[in-house]
Structure 1
Amino acid sequence: MPPPFRPPRRSVPGNAPPTRRRVAPLTSSCDIPPEVRAIMTFLFRGTRLPHLRWTPPVASLLVFATCGQAAPLALDDAVRLALQHNRSLKVSAFSPEIARANLLAESGRFDPALTFRRTYREGETALNLAPLTRALTQSDDYALSLGGLTPWGLTYSLGATAENQRGSFNRFTDNFVAFGGISVTQPLLRGFGLAANLAGLRIARADRSIADWQHRQTIIETVTHVVIAYTSLAQARENVRIARLSRDLTAQLVEQNEKRNRAGQISDADVIQARARLAARDEQVLVARRFAADTQNQLRQLLGEAAFPPEAPEVEIEPLVPAPPVTIDAAVDLQRAYALRPDFLAARQGVVRHRAAHAAAQHQLLPRVDFIGSYGYTGMDRDFGAARRQVRDQDVRAYSAGVVVSLPLTFAEGRGRARAAQLRVRESEAEQARLEQAIAVEVAAAAGQIETTRQRVASTRTALELARQALEAEQKKLQAGSGRTLDVLTSQEQLALVENSYARALADQRRAHAIYDREIGATLERRQIKVE
């Protein structure tokens, strides 16, 4: 079973409870179409509808879409839905759990283990004096030990053994040999020390940190994408409104020109010009509506939906408004980015990981020299109980000591592994330096965009007021008989262009703030999201 996805908690600094947007309840005054009301009835009754998959985000958006005037989908609500249902976040949530499982497995290498062994052996040996006669030997072995590995490389086994060897040589009389004590194997060169034996644990810890930072980065990217998609949808809806307004103004002009043409005040050419522009404005409305529908599907995908029916109702969202002013200190925020950005912190952990692997690979350049030894007490008797008592009473001491040496002839494998590990360390350090430089450029660019978009909003707002005044003046001139239809159409187009520019400036300002928060690593703090 996959681990359950735990969405990040939204909290507010201090002891104050988090603020929540008040949403008007669904009442009979809410204008819900009968078809949608039937679907909601089936949904909350748990009935499965054919050919349509209704998921929790679909139900949430359905409420917002059908009762848009009472409760438009706020940006904070969209972020909350994405944190709960986004598919990328659900996939990313597996990585930290997998890394923790690998760390648990790696730390278990040093856990002691209780081992019991029971073997039986039997063999025949031909006698020199009587080739047709064979000697039979039987042996029973018993062993019980507690053993394991230490972080400095020592392998130990504390326990007891017993062997009962009998055969034709002693007329199959029991002969028990018992031993109780400790046996050790300690590497002296290769495999000695914490660097060699804790490398796997250190790598697993680094992998866990990297997985946590990468998951955090996925959350930041998802929140940023939701903000951008939400803003883009608001801009697309504004473009639809502008296109419809421009089309309505042109339609009014066509109607006025037709009346004046019938009265003989203007020529047929003025009517044809207005009708041609009206047809072009109809095409612009269709393009704007299609783009808005596609942008809405992108937002719905980020919120975790799986079905995108063409007849789905529009999701009402908040209109574009100027972003609140923010104070930018690029130098301070750059240092903040180095301390908060998950991708940079993951790159640092990557250097730690490769350094641990390099330290372990350095041991491959050493020969294998192991000290082996044992110390304990032994007992021997025909009766197992008597042999065991001799061990318990420490009647006969037994010990052994020795050295095992293994010397590769070329060290080619060790040299290759050490060289590759060293290059990986240098590569990770170079990648960290590259990322540090890239972050500096990205923060500077994002800070510049905030100032530029602020100026663009102010400039396009002024241009919008002037364009409206210009259109009004041309309309008055046309009504007075001193203006031309072409001038009015040109003013209408200019007004539509300026309105689009103003909407684009507002949207770019919102997007610039979201991108700047992402570049300095402050997205979660800005949105009051706490990652557990």
Structure 2
Amino acid sequence: PRGIALAVQEGPKSVSGADVLAPLLGPGPETNLSIAGQFQPSSGRLPPAFDPVLTGKIRRDHLTAPQLNSFLVGTTALVTDATTANLGWQKGFLTGGDIAVGFENSHQTLNHRRYDLSPFNTSSFGITFTQPLLRGFGRALNSRFIRVANNSRAQSDLVFEQQVTSTVAAVIRLYWDLVSFNEDVKVRRQTLERAERLLSDNQAQVETGTRAPIEVVRAMAEVARGRRDLIAAESLVRQQETVLKDVLTRRTVTDPALATVRIIPTDPLRVDRDEHVPPASELAENALRRRPDLAQARIQIESTQLALKGSKNALLPSLDLVATVRNNALSGDINPLTLAGAAPHSADPIVLGGYGTALSQLLRRNFPDYGVGVQLTIPLRNRAAEADHTRDSLALRQQELRLQQIQKQLHVEIENALIAVEQARATIEAAEHEREFQEQALAAEEEKLTVGASTTFLVVQYQRDLAQARSAEVAAQAGYVKARAALDRAAGLLLQTHGVSVAAVR
């Protein structure tokens, strides 16, 4: 795979990196990435809690209730001391149903003179199962929030991948700009050396009297011009290094640890004339499989379809099947309080005893309850559910249109990137021919100057034309590698081409 590399140099020390992207995407504290992604939960009936829930309650009460008629309770004020201890367990299922298990206990002492037992204990152990048959029914419906959560996590990963792709593309452009600026410095330095040689030759010719002194002045002006161009080219290199250092680290570029650091590219500008560029159809097919923005759009459509399923189900009436099984128990002591002139209280021996007697009744199922039924609720106007369903339907249509737009834009981007690559190749070829012809023209003019058939002015003009042609060739080569990177990005191949693994970064 094509890659880029650099060396970071500070004074006499140098540290080379296998890839310019490594410090940007590594797991260290210098990582300079951010992601964002969230999904609004779908509407509709909420599913039951799938994780079991355990509840408990202990309560102590002292109650005093004045009586309008003492005939019913045998006293003018009913006083009750009660202790309650309850334990419950509840769990939901993907079918939409839930099961509730309850264990309830109560110990009461009261001055009711007509009760046979006081104090007494009541206990019950019951199981209630509720299963929706219309609204809220189905594994697919009730697991939609789990699937939406998984989709949200997948979307976050894709957002991260998209951010990595954008960052890699930006660094690649900055890197090749730096390489082209360094190459242009070489061109300017060669131009300056050629101008200095011309000045030296003219000075020698003036000393021998074969050339006019004005030719030395013209050569000196060209040397000064060459130095000015070289200074400007070196300044562009330093500015580009500053931009690249700012991207590769979270530190400020004025930090003393970075102030003296120089970035030296180790990959020259090379253009493979025989490099195979796949056709647009193949690139588009690959982009449809690989590009994270398309994958995000598809996942968003799936999540919206799940939301639509929930809001559509909320339009149904509520029909629930409810089944209950319960065992009851009662135990206590004979009430010592009686009405005036009445006989002492008596009770069935099965209920005489303490809390252990009540527990034994529960185990023997002495007092069982059973029940099964259906509960139907029909909303006469379900405008909230209708609004949710309409909203989710419109959202789904919008996201499907958005996916189509992204797919169409993908083909446009690939076609434009291919055109840019073809144009860059043609530009390189034209720039190389121009540079070769300018070299030949300059060589011929220098030959004419040696025999006195030309002037320094014409030689200087040809030197400038050659420098411009070489700079144009460097710019064309840099334009090609950046156009090739843009094509890889449009086709979803940029990370693979440069050996960047998003899974390894995560």
TM-score (norm 1): 0.77
Whichever residue aligns with residue 166 of structure 1, its letter is: T
In structure 2, the residue corresponding to 1:322 is in which secondary structure?
A: coil
Give me the CA root mean square deviation: 3.5
**1:146 CA drift (Å):** 2.4
In structure 2, the residue corresponding to 1:169 is in which secondary structure?
A: coil
Aligned equivalent of 2:246: 301
Say which of 193, 202, 211 aligns to 2:156.
Answer: 211
Residues 96 and 138, structure 2, Cα contact 8 Å, conserved in 1 = yes
Q: Is 2:395 aligned against 1:397? A: no
C-alpha distance after superposition, 1:247-297 (max 9, x if no partner): 3433444555566667583364x5665555544444433332222122222
Aligned equivalent of 2:264: 316
Aligned equivalent of 2:8: 61
Say which of 81, 104, 129 aligns to 1:161.
Answer: 104
The structure-2 alpha-carbon separation of the partners of 1:121 and 1:484, relative to structure 1 and needing over 3 Å to count, comes to: farther
- Within 5 A, what are the aligned runs for 1:114-133? 114-129=54-69, 133=76
Cα distance in 1 for partners of 2:48, 2:485 equals: 44
The structure-2 alpha-carbon separation of the partners of 1:475 and 1:331, relative to structure 1 and needing over 3 Å to count, comes to: same
In structure 2, the residue corresponding to 1:288 is in which secondary structure?
A: helix
Residues 109 and 120, structure 2, Cα contact 8 Å, conserved in 1 = yes
The structure-2 alpha-carbon separation of the partners of 1:229 and 1:91, relative to structure 1 and needing over 3 Å to count, comes to: closer
Aligned equivalent of 1:180: 125
Aligned equivalent of 2:337: none
The structure-2 alpha-carbon separation of the partners of 1:387 and 1:62, relative to structure 1 and needing over 3 Å to count, comes to: farther
Cα distance in 1 for partners of 2:469, 2:463 equals: 10
Aligned equivalent of 1:229: 174
Q: Is 2:203 aligned against 1:266? A: no
Greater fraction helix? 1
Residues 190 and 367, structure 1, Cα contact 8 Å, conserved in 2 = yes
Say which of 25, 35, 39 aligns to 1:83.
Answer: 25
Residues 86 and 302, structure 1, Cα contact 8 Å, conserved in 2 = no
The structure-2 alpha-carbon separation of the partners of 1:404 and 1:136, relative to structure 1 and needing over 3 Å to count, comes to: farther
**1:435 CA drift (Å):** 0.8
Cα distance in 1 for partners of 2:310, 2:423 equals: 52
The structure-2 alpha-carbon separation of the partners of 1:80 and 1:457, relative to structure 1 and needing over 3 Å to count, comes to: same
Say which of 185, 188, 195 aligns to 1:240.
Answer: 185
Whichever residue aligns with residue 264 of structure 2, its letter is: E
Q: Where does structure 2 lack aligned partners over 5 or more consecutive residues?
A: 40-45, 333-353
Whichever residue aligns with residue 115 of structure 1, its letter is: T
The structure-2 alpha-carbon separation of the partners of 1:85 and 1:256, relative to structure 1 and needing over 3 Å to count, comes to: farther
Whichever residue aligns with residue 316 of structure 1, its letter is: I
Residues 89 and 218, structure 1, Cα contact 8 Å, conserved in 2 = no
Cα distance in 2 for partners of 1:83, 1:343 equals: 20
**1:499 CA drift (Å):** 0.9
**1:398 CA drift (Å):** 1.1
Moved more, 340-349 or 150-159: 150-159
**1:349 CA drift (Å):** 0.6
Residues 31 and 250, structure 2, Cα contact 8 Å, conserved in 1 = no
TM-score (norm 2): 0.80
Query: In percent, how many aligned pairs have the same letter?
Result: 22
C-alpha distance after superposition, 1:404-437 (max 9, x if no partner): 6666564332222222222221121111111111
In structure 2, the residue corresponding to 1:365 is in which secondary structure?
A: coil
Aligned equivalent of 1:441: 412
Cα distance in 1 for partners of 2:48, 2:156 equals: 20
In structure 2, the residue corresponding to 1:163 is in which secondary structure?
A: strand
Cα distance in 1 for partners of 2:244, 2:322 equals: 66
Q: Is 2:138 aligned against 1:198? A: no
Residues paired across the two proteins, number: 464
In structure 1, the residue corresponding to 2:265 is in which secondary structure?
A: coil
- Within 5 A, what are the aligned runs for 1:414-493? 414-493=385-464
Aligned equivalent of 2:91: 148
**1:526 CA drift (Å):** 2.4
Whichever residue aligns with residue 271 of structure 2, its letter is: P
